Amino acid sequence: MKNQMHIVSLIYSTGLHPASWRLEHSKIDEIGQITYQQEIAKIAERGCLDAIFLADGQYISQENTGHLSYFLEPITTLTAISQITKHIGLIATLSSTFYDPYNAARLIGSLDHISHGRAGINIVTSQFDNEARNHSMTQLPPLNERYKKAEEFVHVLKQLWQSFDSHALINDRKSGRGIEWSLVNEINHEGDYFKVKGPINLPSSPQIYPVLCQAGTSIPGRDFASKAVDMIFSVAWNKADAKRFLKDIEKRTEQLNKSEGRPLILPGLTVYVADTMEEAKERMAALDSFIDVNDKIKQIEQSIGQSVEGWDFDAVVPPLPSFDKLPTKVVSKARYEAIRNTIETESLTLRELAQRVSTWMGHKTIVGDPITVADMMQEWFEEECCDGFTLMPPTYPDMFEAFIDKVIPILQERGLFRKAYTGTTLRENLQCVVE
């Protein structure tokens, strides 16, 4: 376990709470303006966070929240953000199911050059058939197949990013030799999903190649992450879930005999923080007041693949079957397993479960004053539940800024988080440099 935690933040619309846009002073009218995204990035950089990352979907969200979840394309947005920031890492979500590796390598590689080595890529395999239908498919391929394709996708990306060594650019004006061609090589990849000759027409970046990330905790996702990425955005409702996942990734990585060790693991964390516990609870209650309890029940039913009709609201939720025995398909196995494990370990009532679905289900939520929040983060970190956290603020920018201004200084004072950036690239700040 390292001495200091890593913290990144997801930027998503006006916040992760589905009613965040309905607050009187929300920024819902500005989510399509780059200045809004840049404002959040500046706040993150002020707090010395490792990175921000942008979620993405290839469809109009059907979460029935009443507002538009996705607006600007992530790589374009982060390129604009790179011009008004100096240190913060910039991670774009990209689907290996839909993207071609050569184009993806150029896009993310260009962001890495433009930002002087601060780029990262969150590789997803997509979740919804609605996305597939926007890419000449009738439905998504099976999960295992999508991850096999993702593994090959990353393999090709790494080959391409290293096919044109930046030292090949000699630019000798007198001799007329601009390129040392011995340092530029074809990759001649022929796989099950891609055929790519190479080399890429982009020299390697200061990081050699951008930071590779993955989100989720499914079994195929764990296999993929253990082999291919530097950092995992995981799902854990409690310490037991977090420890179980970390140990599993450690075991998988050890079996691969990877010299660089396991990926960093940063579970999602939603924080409602204010000067007092009472005020923090009031802020959460104000958001929850916009959500009809029936909508919460519907969200629970969609997540667990069954109806809760007839369940006593104040009785303990009955045990859920294993994922492979579900009669109805659910979108997220990671979310289902997080709910199932939490019900088993915490004996939640349906009412208590409903209270936890205000943000993205499955992730840890904490409500409290700054010390309470910092204590919880320190406890998880020092008990080796994680390497840090992926912040999922319920509202942007106010609740995010409250975390930066009230919690980060406490973590810094305790020596748990940096007071200044020491590296010049995202890899250096994450301490996962390519050898």
Q: Which of 78, 85, 31 is nearest to 54 (CA)?
A: 78
The angle that helices 370-382 and 239-256 make with each other, rounded to 10 degrees, is: 30
SS3 content of the chain, % helix, strand, coil (to 5): 40, 15, 45
> CA distances (Å), 44 to each of 53, 391, 404, 415, in order?
11, 11, 7, 19
Cis amide bond preceding 397, omega within 30: yes
Distance CA 10, CA 29 (A): 19
Q: Which of 121, 352, 388 is nearest to 236 (CA)?
A: 388
Is 218 known to sit in a ligand binding site?
yes
Is 147 known to sit in a ligand binding site?
yes
Tokens encoding 334: 């990671």
Cβ atoms of residues 207 and 112 within 8 Å? yes
> CA distances (Å), 310 to each of 112, 213, 284, 297, 319, in order?
54, 41, 28, 12, 15
Distant-in-sequence, close-in-space partners of 413: CB < 8 Å, separation ≥ 6:
none
Is 93 known to sit in a ligand binding site?
yes
Cβ atoms of residues 317 and 349 within 8 Å? yes
For the beta carbon of residue 354, count every other beta carbon within 10 angstroms.
Answer: 21
User: Binding site residues for FMN, as ranges?
Assistant: 56, 93, 147, 218
User: Binding site residues, as ranges?
Assistant: 56, 93, 147, 218
